[in-house]
Chain A
Amino acid sequence: MEHPTYISTTNACKLCKPLGACLAFRGIEGSMPLLHGSQGCATYMRRYIISHFREPMDIASSSLGEKHAVYGGGPNLKQGIENIISKFGAQFIGIATTCLTETIGDDVPMIVNEFRRETKRREGVNLPFMVTVSTPSYSGTHIEGFHAATKAIVDQISAVGETMDLTNVLPGFVSPADIRHLKEILYDFSLPAVVLPDYSDTLDGPAQKDYEKIPSGGTAIEDIKNMGRARATIEFGRTLSREISAGQLLSERFDVPLHHLGIPIGIRETDAFFQTLEQLAGSSTPEKYKAERGRLVDAYIDSHKYLFGKRAVIYGEEDLVVGLTSFLAEMGVKPVLCASGGKSGRFAPAIQGAVAEISTETPVTMEAVDFYQIEEIIEDLSPDLMIGTSKGYQIAKRMDIPLIRTGFPIHDRFGGQRMLHVGYRGTQNLLDLIVNTVIQRNQTDSPVGYAYM
């Protein structure tokens, strides 16, 4: 089926590249993300991120003005770094470029090296780790920015060394609750592991007596150094390309074997994840998770009639859509449209892979689309459900389709940062949410006022 394409973008289903980089940098211990560009980028992204996580999200900016665009932003970038060191005591600064500084041609790694040289001569200055990443907003989405930053961190910090009992976990852009759950699973497997990035505390922290200049938590620098010595890397993301995969870099440069999996949502993808862990730990899955799996299968059975044949539109970040599609296919839901603003070129085959063996029909898969196109296509699909970010709300409201909010951003509901998607437990959470949404719709639509559903 051919759908019209447009020159203009209306209601984008993606965000810009530096935003993803800032999120990844927020997951490093003692870190301050720094955007090399004009002040607005940092402020807009902070606002956008804060509205989802309801947490402080400081992003420093080199605050370039007109003259810097002409003469180069180097001096401001150095001043920004200097201020972050002296005021925030950062031990890590993640520096991402913007379209402005990419276009004026600032050589950020060189400026940072200059800063290192100049500062080393001065006494009493402890230089933080500084990682630079190129994230021009005109090329790629926030997801590419997230992965580019993750890869840059590994590229610029991880070191070679004797292999140690360590497993690298690169989960991609999942929620703080997801990261917490992954860490719990790794702990229960007694697998020493480093999760990169880890914003489970920095973007979902407790109330404080004092304002933390940099929120506690995050992947420790020492752990990142050791990633080159790990026994294995587990990296999620079916659409992740070789070029932007940090796991690929670890494999090529340090010979760390890479286990490339999908985001573990649904039984099959979660089984694959646990099988990998069993293999790495040399032990079987802990009883706790076997029980969770058992309860999940039980819930699949208990709820199957509510969901069988329901038509779902799934949209958002490509890898999350692939994971959700895989799970929904297991429930007998018919994914009628899988859409993303991303453009990895791997989305359609990944979706096909997710529904293969189970569904007889392959869903319409569209990459690089905006919400205008999504709405246009939905008109002909008469879906029962929409599953994705809160940005689909206006369509859902107009077309009266129940919306189940997942992923990022969720700007119109509470607790987006605590939304659990991964593992048997995360799948259970999603299942309950989706089934109850369907039940509520059935109940509301019925004139009877059923008290049993």
Chain B
Amino acid sequence: MRTTTAPAIFEERKNQIHRKGEQRFDIDCNRDSLAGAVSQRACVFCGSRVVLYPIADALHLVHGPIGCAAYTWDIRGALSSGPDLHRLSFSTDLQEMDIVFGGEKKLYGALTELIDRYGPKAAFVYSTCIVGLIGDDLEGVCRRVSGEKGIPVLPVQSEGFKGNKREGYHAACKAMFRLMGTGDTSGIAPLSLNVLGDFNLAGELWIIRDYFARMGIQTVANITGDGRVTDIQKAHGASLNVVQCSGSTMELAKMMKESFGTPFLRVSYFGVDDMAESLYSIARFFSARDPEIMARTEKLVREELSILYPKLQKYKKELTGKKAAIYVGGAFKAFSLVKAFRLIGMRVVLVGSQTGTEEDYRELYDITDEGTIIVDDSNPLELSAFLKEKDVDIFVGGVKERPIAYKLGVGFCDHNHERKTPLAGFQGMLNFAEEVYSSVMSPVWRFTPRKKARG
């Protein structure tokens, strides 16, 4: 084995790691990733791509060399109840000559060809690193094609190097915002909302929409899980925006508030506490218009909990005292996960995110136990060192975190794009507990070097 005695923490990153209880809370974040540190972050393009991807009846054309499109082909389990154009991967596959002479002609050709072939309701054209450099007039080409084909064709300014994932979220929000205010809002009920920041992974959105329906609320637009262009076009007709996944769509909620006066609420559908509180806060919002709504909501929560709680007890009994680590894209999910683990008797000893803000980390600080490590924009060296130090039983993350856990003989729960089981809503909490249980309680760990060494 190759060993170096160097500690796992980069000097430059020291202030991006906080150990609760050892010092006053203070953490650096929203910085550029450190060169050579193997950040788990992606790029601006990635941020835009993940947000817009689930809009199922739009064409998503990546203007750039093949990689950017190839690595994002059918990458998320964002389900659609109808069209699934989003699951195809479209690229202009720029070649050397396009770089030299410009890619506008190819972009125009590709766009018209694909629009003719699929008849999408709108097209998103993603800019990549190279397009930002060669200076193709994306806006101009999109305007021209939009005029010719009679559908919205929206440039997404997602050049990879122009920031991190967060800027990509903003670029996506800006592109979507251009659709809003253009659709017919007749027939939208007074009790209506848009769902922002749920991507319908494994059908999670459908669970949430069912809750809203039972509360008597009409869902106008899903942004963007199971998303439809015409829904987004009339989203400004809804009375409320409920925003999950803080980083990705908050910008859009703010733009909508400013332009259309649509108020927004921050919500989370993960874990029992946050799920219930989210429904209650929405009910409170509408209670002046419908005094009965709170009663309906309470009934809903009661019904769901009466099914969920007895089933959870079995898992709680076995899992109590076990330790968990969390490393996710956005910090908002981490808040709910900390509480969800507490509900099944587990302690979170490490929590971090790729793109959290200082506000996010302060909230994590407030809700975690003494000794918890809080980390921003981490990397495999740090994460593996923390997993070992804290002797973690399960690590929650995405595909890139999985081999770190498994190599060390630590359990894992995928809470990212690839999950096939819904983890949102009350049912999702049970699925989550089940998944944690099935990894933590597996007999395989007894054979791993880590456990054997302990004897």
Contact = CB atoms under 8 A, between A and B. Distances in A.
A61 B42 contact: no
A60 B39 CA distance: 8
A12 B65 CA distance: 11
Contacts, number: 254
Contact of A30 (B2, B32, B33, B111): B2
Contacts of B380: 56, 58, 211
Given A7-B109, A42-B38, A77-B35, A87 B6 contact: yes
A46 B400 contact: yes
A83 B37 contact: yes
Nearest to A45: B71
Interface string A44-75: 11111011001111111111111011000000
Interface in A1-16: 6-12, 14-16
Contacts of A100: 129-130, 133, 160-161
Nearest to A105: B133
A137 B36 contact: no
B73 interface: yes
Contacts of A216: 1-2
A53 to B, nearest CB: 8
A66 B38 contact: no
B114 A8 contact: yes
* Residue picked from A58, A84, A210, most chain B C-beta under 10 Å: A210
B274 to A, nearest CB: 28
B96 A138 contact: yes
B161 A64 contact: yes
A90 B40 CA distance: 20
Interface residues of B, number: 82
Given A99-B65, A138-B95, A211-B407, A87 B161 contact: no
A208 to B, nearest CB: 5
Interface string A17-33: 01100000000001000
Given A65-B163, A211-B380, A136 B33 contact: no
Given A43-B41, A60-B36, A89 B2 contact: yes
B291 to A, nearest CB: 49
B67 interface: yes
Given A16-B65, A34-B36, A69 B95 contact: no
A16 B385 contact: no
B406 A209 contact: no
B388 A211 contact: yes
Given A83-B10, A211-B380, A211-B384, A44 B71 contact: yes
Contact of A51 (B32, B388, B399, B448): B399
A124 to B, nearest CB: 13
Contacts of A66: 161-163
Contacts of A89: 2-4, 6
B404 A103 contact: no
Contacts of B42: 39-40, 43-44
B46 interface: yes
A56 B163 contact: no
Contacts of A51: 399
A382 interface: no
Contacts of B89: 10-12
Contacts of A352: none
B113 A209 contact: no
B400 to A, nearest CB: 5
Contacts of B46: 40, 43-44
B66 A137 contact: yes
A295 interface: no
B70 interface: yes
B106 interface: yes
B69 interface: yes
A55 B46 CA distance: 22
B406 A54 contact: yes
B161 A65 contact: yes
A11 B73 contact: yes
A156 to B, nearest CB: 20
B45 A16 contact: no
A98 interface: yes
B70 A12 contact: yes
B90 A9 contact: yes
B408 interface: yes
Given A15-B67, A99-B130, A68 B161 contact: yes
Contact of B407 (A56, A99, A391): A56
B40 A209 contact: no
Contact of B88 (A10, A76, A90): A10
Contacts of A208: 407-409, 449-450
Contact of A41 (B1, B110, B160): B160
Contacts of B312: none
A48 B10 CA distance: 26
B307 interface: no
B388 A87 contact: no
B38 to A, nearest CB: 5
B302 to A, nearest CB: 41
Given A9-B90, A16-B65, A100-B130, A209 B36 contact: no
A209 B450 contact: yes
A213 B41 contact: no
Given A58-B380, A100-B161, A212 B399 contact: no
B92 interface: yes
A441 B399 CA distance: 33
B408 A211 contact: yes
A84 B36 contact: yes
B453 interface: yes
B408 to A, nearest CB: 6
Interface in B58-105: 61, 64-74, 87-96, 98-99
Closest 3 CB pairs of A and B: A40-B43, A89-B4, A16-B67
Interface of A: 6-12, 14-16, 18-19, 30, 34, 37-48, 50-51, 54-66, 68-69, 76-77, 79-84, 86-91, 98-100, 103-104, 136-139, 141, 205, 207-214, 216, 391, 394
Given A37-B129, A39-B42, A213-B381, 14 more contacts: A7-B110, A8-B110, A10-B90, A10-B114, A14-B70, A43-B40, A48-B71, A58-B38, A83-B10, A83-B37, A89-B4, A103-B133, A138-B99, A205-B407
8 contacts: A8-B93, A8-B114, A14-B70, A61-B33, A65-B32, A98-B129, A210-B408, A213-B4
